[in-house]
Structure 1
């Protein structure tokens, strides 16, 4: 094969006449280009590190300050060095090496540079102090006080230049504040009150007060030391104890998924869809390496922490007997592709450039056309990543860390990311929407349990009919980070990159591109036994998942805002009403704490006294105003975002108690309470990438996760444009108390019941808006049906 010869840089033969050395110029050229690419990347990282380190200062600012300082010193006839070299000359013979004029210039530059450092350090400190104030979050919707206006102006002034890099604000972000034990206890008791009867509440109140007066202050003292010393007093322990020390399967229990477009099918060619998607992901990685991605800014002013982006690529979770670790390498020039039980290494660069979409499609076509069979044990090898962590760690160390297995395993774990060319077809089907979407969700969440490498930072899954999605590991970052990447991919795929009329990627195949390299495994019988055992555990877990997706298009945030209610609060209250038609339960809603350095998430306890009162009134057919419950929910959300949450503080107090060997009945009971309703909103972060008004269908349909409790629900939702909300619901078939489809119907009914309180018929404007919304939904569905019909006609014509 041509590519086999090109892979050899030199060959030699020994003859009686001597040694005949034959060099491959193409191989040497590729080695040179590879090294050049590596040095360019190192230089860019060094430059970005310098730019980030001096932000909000800049080299231009340095030249300006030094130039103005030197000019002023010359104008007023003053010594620009401030007699610096005169003082140094008293101890060192400086005049031997430098004339008086040079001493003045060098001294002036040094003093000017010092002045510049003082200016940007002062600006950074002032910005950090300004960002510690969160009063702007508590203003009434639609009103901005003069205090907030002045604060916003000052933040913009001290933020420096207009185009910050991804990590520019990291050193200016404040540390996560540590709440007092008293405040946390009081907020916990408020959250527990609606879930307990009087006797249970009095007992818990006694435990809480004993902790507050006894062990609590001692644990708080140690935690306060950590909050002073560490950048973030929560994040490292959260990553270690919540994620990496978990010994159960991460498939379903931890990993989550992201979906493709719901109604749009850009191409039915699997290789072509993979080509565009992989190329878009690699372009995103290049922007990430160059720190060219814009930092997320609330209200285009308040920066969010970007630390979680650092481990998006070239990252894998490594199993251990006691705890896992996260392996991240600086660069990786290949991906690994799984298809029909085989693993392939696919280099992503040639001639020093990232492969074009058509070249990637060419590589995928070669893999799809490869007739070879899996080696013994190879097909189900990844089931080890889907089962319990201890057997995986033991099998990895005993069987995969030696011989050629070591090389193949390193190739997988050090790949930029993992790709699965799935041999099943998944897609939204208008004629069978429920089963088609449920099957699609389950495939992304767990697949066959052996065709995704669940330890990779993320898996790109491309199905046989061109639909795709992601499965992401959770320990390295939270869902909004992978969501940011996915928005970039979907915005580029059909519009900016596009496809030919035949459905191929645009461009021409590469004439001399070396083909993918098949990974070689030698898996002994003992390892195959471990694989079978892990697969059995994983299949039992996967078969138990009850997934259901609801594209709720009766109304969306446009109508909710017309009702003067927060869309998130509206949905959360609807979830409580839907669940209360069974019972109230402890509810987890994820919120971010990324306004602080290295912030991740905090919990909003959405089941409040006010929400319960509203839900009871609806069930008793004596509804009260939703506004009080919505206002309370927004207050709790703001508290969680600004460091005033409950659960991360209690978690860290518990960790300290374990280090000290102290037992707390209060902490043990609080942390063992099951989250029977775990919820999360998938935010659309880059609205500017999508034309939601004209093409609401060209956006991700969101993603989901498995249930947290055996008898509970996992609910994820994404608000798309003005008129659509997608719900992703999961539970377990084995629980007699849960049913995802039943709960989905209850959610729809709760949404409509709450909307009915606003009496649309009595308000002509809202009634008109509602009718327009329904009309837009019908039009969008008809457009999607027509597109699907046209795609089928095109495929049929191509087949002919």
Structure 2
């Protein structure tokens, strides 16, 4: 009752003597502090907007330029406006009332401002030109030429001082549009190892016809868009690949991130949630103040685009009949929490400040101790976000557009993010590593299909035993953005925030903190039927996921670098060898590469199944066949197996080819985003292209992605090797294919996340994991490092 009383600012009663007002000073104080907090945030955003808008200039630079200009003109007795004020005086009456000195001051300020703006624009455009050059990517590893050193020096000079997160946005170049000829040539090259001569000749004919006839017309419209829009790909990619999809986003689109692999900071669920939520809110505060450092490449010299950070918090995907939309709020002071079928609204601020970890633990414990039953339809309500999008859109419009249902739905969709206090236990178990990690991954990916709000940008999931993880929606940003947040949380949680000996958050509970608000619903039977229908669809999808996670501990990037090979190329070639051993054939392979060297860039595809990689794989398979025949007596033991030196040469050629393709994808010379945009233009024009239709319908039977470690300085894995992350993963892309995510952790560990579908007779995630491990060992064995060491 105390919380309800404090929620009312005043009460009044009408008596014969008049109106008696009873003010609640505590409530008025909270209103004042809330308003003060809001105005502070507005001022900070305004200030950051100014600083970012004038970057690489600064207000201090403005004062220097204006004062220096005026001092120079005063010393030389010159008119700082060069006669501009006198000319304006003929048209502006106010100049008649200004003294000569006043006119000199105003003129100096105006011309100095113009000079300052000119300097900023020159620096910004010079920096854009410098960042448009990507020759540094082709330099041999470990060597930097004088020309690159000079270029790096110029980039540093024109990059300004103390950049904030969004400082470089106006200086980043636009994503270039490749030529039709180059894209068609690269496409034919990418499909050659997957087709026999007859199929390839047919594809070559379709490609040449498109390149000569329809292609140039579509390209003209695409060029026009690239001149007008900030990025010719990203808006269409977000809309047509993500938001217009009508299938479930659970498993198909959403992905997950795991906790530490070996470290378990506390077994108290509420305490782990308290530290994690506080760390996330601290990250949001840094994001609001633009205090997060920009992400760089090449020794902190080359900035990447930061646009994807803008919608990380206070954002939800809202279903529509034909297309979804992203609803973003400028600010949100609460989070939404789900536990045992109930939804709660938890305020994150009190007394004008962010709640401390122990206070958040206090709120989480209140939710855990709440014994109330879910309202009818509430327990499985989130299944609407896990099923098909169109039924969810219709149900939202019909049953959640007004009244208490709308208010409660707003509390979820407008929350900073969502939290699930899961009632199951998940953790890496050294005695049963395979089963424990597989169960952990499936729980994060889909859970019970109704205990995560899949439409939110991300859900923090805290299990009963204190283990935690994230489930993230994909349309608003790519995995590295969530990865950056998660690295921040994991680095703060056990070390900087810490726990008491009993496992609680540090600090003391708040004696007067208002409790969480349980959301109220009135869900009719008709809506409950829609919920059950969505849940059936979601469970069918979730039950079909065959997930396998395994830490590869035999070696890591440290040993791979001794082979003078790119770790990513090494792993990708191993995946091709594993794929061939698994299915006896090659397939179209997707590897995600970022294009954030350009403004509003997202991803591009590296088609890592190349002619060079296939040649290496065939050499490995041929040698295995020869050795097998020798063992069975089919060939003479004098038969010479395929030479190790030749396989090693083929491996290095394949690795160099892969590195070159990765560079091309990063620098805007990829294939798939260009073809995708050409297809969108063709649909707008009502043109039917057999070439584009066939290319874009090709299934990615092997979809791969590397989870990057972006803030390695946060983790001292040399002194504390136990603080290694498990990384994250995603669901299978093709019904008969594999999804593989991997994270290179430190020097000696690579974690693999494999997914496929039980319903496919061609796939088995555990079998494929075994093939990956063997392929990694076989490729390393070619280098014979043990003999070289001896």
Aligned ranges 1:6-405 → 2 under 5 Å: 6-161=6-161, 163-299=162-298, 300-405=300-405
Structure 1 residue 701, shift from structure 2 partner: 1.2
> Which stretch of structure 1 is more off in the superposition, 77-86 or 96-105?
77-86
**How far apart, in 1, do the equivalents of 2:29 and 2:664 lie?**
58
Equivalent in the alignment of 1:615:
617
Structure 1 residue 209, shift from structure 2 partner: 0.2
**How far apart, in 2, do the equivalents of 1:609 and 1:96 lie?**
79
**How far apart, in 2, do the equivalents of 1:756 and 1:343 lie?**
54
Cα deviation, 1:361-418, whole Å, max 9, x if unaligned, reads: 0000000000100001100000000000011111111111122101000111000000
Query: Match of 1:652, SS?
Result: helix
Equivalent in the alignment of 2:603:
601
**How far apart, in 2, do the equivalents of 1:87 and 1:526 lie?**
75
**How far apart, in 2, do the equivalents of 1:46 and 1:190 lie?**
50
Structure 1 residue 656, shift from structure 2 partner: 0.4
Corresponding position: 1:725 with 2:750: yes
**How far apart, in 2, do the equivalents of 1:56 and 1:592 lie?**
25
**How far apart, in 2, do the equivalents of 1:272 and 1:212 lie?**
61
**How far apart, in 1, do the equivalents of 2:5 and 2:349 lie?**
18
Equivalent in the alignment of 1:534:
534
Equivalent in the alignment of 1:761:
786
**How far apart, in 2, do the equivalents of 1:740 and 1:227 lie?**
41
Structure 1 residue 145, shift from structure 2 partner: 1.5
Corresponding position: 1:749 with 2:749: no
Equivalent in the alignment of 1:788:
none
Equivalent in the alignment of 2:631:
none
**How far apart, in 1, do the equivalents of 2:112 and 2:509 lie?**
56
Equivalences, count: 764
Contact 2:555–2:749, Cα closer than 8 Å, also in 1: yes
Contact 2:422–2:462, Cα closer than 8 Å, also in 1: yes
**How far apart, in 2, do the equivalents of 1:8 and 1:410 lie?**
21
**How far apart, in 1, do the equivalents of 2:209 and 2:703 lie?**
29
Query: Match of 1:19, SS?
Result: strand
Contact 1:462–1:468, Cα closer than 8 Å, also in 2: yes
**How far apart, in 1, do the equivalents of 2:327 and 2:747 lie?**
41
**How far apart, in 2, do the equivalents of 1:761 and 1:358 lie?**
52
Cα deviation, 1:248-293, whole Å, max 9, x if unaligned, reads: 0000000000000010000000000000000000000000000000
> Which stretch of structure 1 is more off in the superposition, 508-517 or 3-12?
3-12
**How far apart, in 1, do the equivalents of 2:28 and 2:551 lie?**
54
**How far apart, in 1, do the equivalents of 2:91 and 2:382 lie?**
69
Equivalent in the alignment of 2:462:
462
Contact 2:336–2:412, Cα closer than 8 Å, also in 1: yes
Equivalent in the alignment of 1:496:
496
Structure 1 residue 94, shift from structure 2 partner: 4.4
Corresponding residue to 1:588 among 587, 590, 615: 590
Equivalent in the alignment of 1:569:
569
**How far apart, in 2, do the equivalents of 1:108 and 1:404 lie?**
61
Aligned ranges 1:376-775 → 2 under 5 Å: 376-581=376-581, 582=583, 583-621=585-623, 622=642, 623=644, 624-625=647-648, 626-764=651-789
Change (3 A) 1:72 1:575: same
Report the RMSD for the aligned CA atoms in angstroms: 0.8
**How far apart, in 1, do the equivalents of 2:72 and 2:330 lie?**
46
Structure 1 residue 91, shift from structure 2 partner: 3.2
Structure 1 residue 20, shift from structure 2 partner: 1.6
Change (3 A) 1:414 1:92: closer
**How far apart, in 2, do the equivalents of 1:66 and 1:606 lie?**
55
**How far apart, in 2, do the equivalents of 1:656 and 1:474 lie?**
24
Contact 2:89–2:96, Cα closer than 8 Å, also in 1: no
Contact 1:195–1:586, Cα closer than 8 Å, also in 2: yes
**How far apart, in 1, do the equivalents of 2:264 and 2:198 lie?**
57
Structure 1 residue 93, shift from structure 2 partner: 4.0
Structure 1 residue 77, shift from structure 2 partner: 2.3
- Unmatched segments (≥5 aa) in structure 1: 768-800
Query: Match of 1:763, SS?
Result: helix
Cα deviation, 1:139-160, whole Å, max 9, x if unaligned, reads: 1111112211111111000101
**How far apart, in 2, do the equivalents of 1:91 and 1:347 lie?**
57
**How far apart, in 2, do the equivalents of 1:75 and 1:179 lie?**
55
Contact 1:257–1:703, Cα closer than 8 Å, also in 2: yes
> Which stretch of structure 1 is more off in the superposition, 140-149 or 573-582?
140-149
**How far apart, in 1, do the equivalents of 2:96 and 2:182 lie?**
67
Contact 2:262–2:724, Cα closer than 8 Å, also in 1: no
Structure 1 residue 14, shift from structure 2 partner: 2.1
**How far apart, in 1, do the equivalents of 2:545 and 2:97 lie?**
78
**How far apart, in 2, do the equivalents of 1:374 and 1:91 lie?**
73
Query: Match of 1:533, SS?
Result: helix
> Which stretch of structure 1 is more off in the superposition, 665-674 or 20-29?
20-29
**How far apart, in 2, do the equivalents of 1:587 and 1:761 lie?**
32
Structure 1 residue 301, shift from structure 2 partner: 0.5
Structure 1 residue 716, shift from structure 2 partner: 0.2
Contact 1:81–1:105, Cα closer than 8 Å, also in 2: no
**How far apart, in 2, do the equivalents of 1:533 and 1:524 lie?**
15
Structure 1 residue 95, shift from structure 2 partner: 4.6
Structure 1 residue 105, shift from structure 2 partner: 1.1
Change (3 A) 1:239 1:74: same
> Which stretch of structure 1 is more off in the superposition, 618-627 or 27-36?
618-627
**How far apart, in 1, do the equivalents of 2:519 and 2:89 lie?**
67
**How far apart, in 1, do the equivalents of 2:786 and 2:149 lie?**
39
Query: Match of 1:246, SS?
Result: coil
Contact 1:85–1:94, Cα closer than 8 Å, also in 2: no
**How far apart, in 1, do the equivalents of 2:463 and 2:592 lie?**
30
Query: Match of 1:620, SS?
Result: helix
Cα deviation, 1:734-774, whole Å, max 9, x if unaligned, reads: 0000000000000000000000000123211xx6xxxxxxx
**How far apart, in 2, do the equivalents of 1:492 and 1:444 lie?**
21
Query: Match of 2:461, SS?
Result: strand
- Unmatched segments (≥5 aa) in structure 2: 624-641
Contact 1:252–1:446, Cα closer than 8 Å, also in 2: yes
Instruction: Return the TM-score normalized by structure 1.
Output: 0.95
